[in-house]
Structure 1
Amino acid sequence: MNNQPVHVAIAILYQENKFLMQLRDNIPGILYPGYWGLFGGHIEPGETPDVAVKREILEEIGYTLPPFFEFGCYSDEKVVRHVFQAPLLVELNQLILSEGWDMGLMTLEDIRQGNCYSQNAGEVRPLGHVHQRILLDFIKKK
């Protein structure tokens, strides 16, 4: 049994005072099913976190990251999250969502209250706790 934490690379993508988030698929067995989270994913063997985040963002929304920076690392017993930050330089309708249930630009208020309406789900869905904490930390440092 492998008890090593999984390493993932995720991105805080911001546009003015809004943050792009993905509504995760509502399927059992994944972390935070049906919750809003940051885009990104697993780091493949032999991949560095910065290469992984570029690949994941391209795969998930068809967005080529502009120059980006490391924001921090958030670990718990299950997951080590390598967090990057980059501006979102295109309109939402220019992105192609190929993974997840929905995506949207969250306001500071959405993030603080910890939930946001999803057009695709037709209801208000919660933010993943760790994703909310990362964004609140980011907002505080800005």
Structure 2
Amino acid sequence: MNSKPVEVAIAILYSSDRFLMQLRDNIPGIIYPGHWGFFGGHIDPGETPQEALLRELGEEISYTPPWVSEFGCYSDSKVLRHVFHAPLTVEFEQLVLGEGWDMGLLTPEQIRSGSCYSQKADQVRPIGLPHQRILLDFLARGIDTVRD
């Protein structure tokens, strides 16, 4: 059977030297339950990846970045991830979590270690492996996160 991978648009959102991540709900049936991952989601029919990303960010955290830039595409047998990066230009407390268990600003050290403590879960939770790999690539490339 030839099944096409699901396409999603996700965002590396950063503030200074920290990266905004979502702690996914810990429920069966979703990919990477109870893991830290990026905000974003499925691309609806007729949407571009960037349109889907902006819609998802609005739904999930009530945030629209001033700009987004493409970072790359990452795929496996089930998911094609269109990855963008953008600055987080509001205070963390201004974000409204509309989807997920928790959210946090993770440091490069936490990303390298592969896990982070969640106050809401009162547990150290793992970072989803694809998300960790993408962030490690982002950190290694030293992407200029400043726009004129």
TM-score normalised by the chain length of structure 1: 0.98
What percentage of residue pairs aligned between the two structures are identical? 68
Equivalent residue for 2:64?
64
* 4+ aligned runs moved over 3 Å, structure 1: none
Equivalent residue for 2:82?
82
SS in 2 for 1:31: coil
1:121 aligns with 2:118: no
Structure 1 unaligned residues grouped into runs of 5+: none
Aligned-pair CA distance for 1:3:
1.4
What amino acid is aligned across from residue 28 of structure 2 in structure 1? P
Please list the CA deviations of residues 9-56 of structure 1 after superposition, one character each: whole Å capped at 9, or x if unmatched: 000000111000000000101000000000000000110000000000
Could you say what the CA RMSD is over the residues aligned between the two structures, in angstroms? 0.9
Please list the CA deviations of residues 69-96 of structure 1 after superposition, one character each: whole Å capped at 9, or x if unmatched: 0000000110000000000001110000
Aligned-pair CA distance for 1:139:
0.5
Question: What is the rounded CA distance, in whole Å, between the counterparts of 2:57 and 2:84 in structure 1?
Answer: 11
Equivalent residue for 1:8?
8
TM-score normalised by the chain length of structure 2: 0.94
Question: What is the rounded CA distance, in whole Å, between the counterparts of 2:17 and 2:74 in structure 1?
Answer: 23
SS in 1 for 2:10: strand
Question: What is the rounded CA distance, in whole Å, between the counterparts of 2:47 and 2:7 in structure 1?
Answer: 11
Structure 2 unaligned residues grouped into runs of 5+: 143-148
Alignment of 1:12-51 (within 5 A): 12-51=12-51
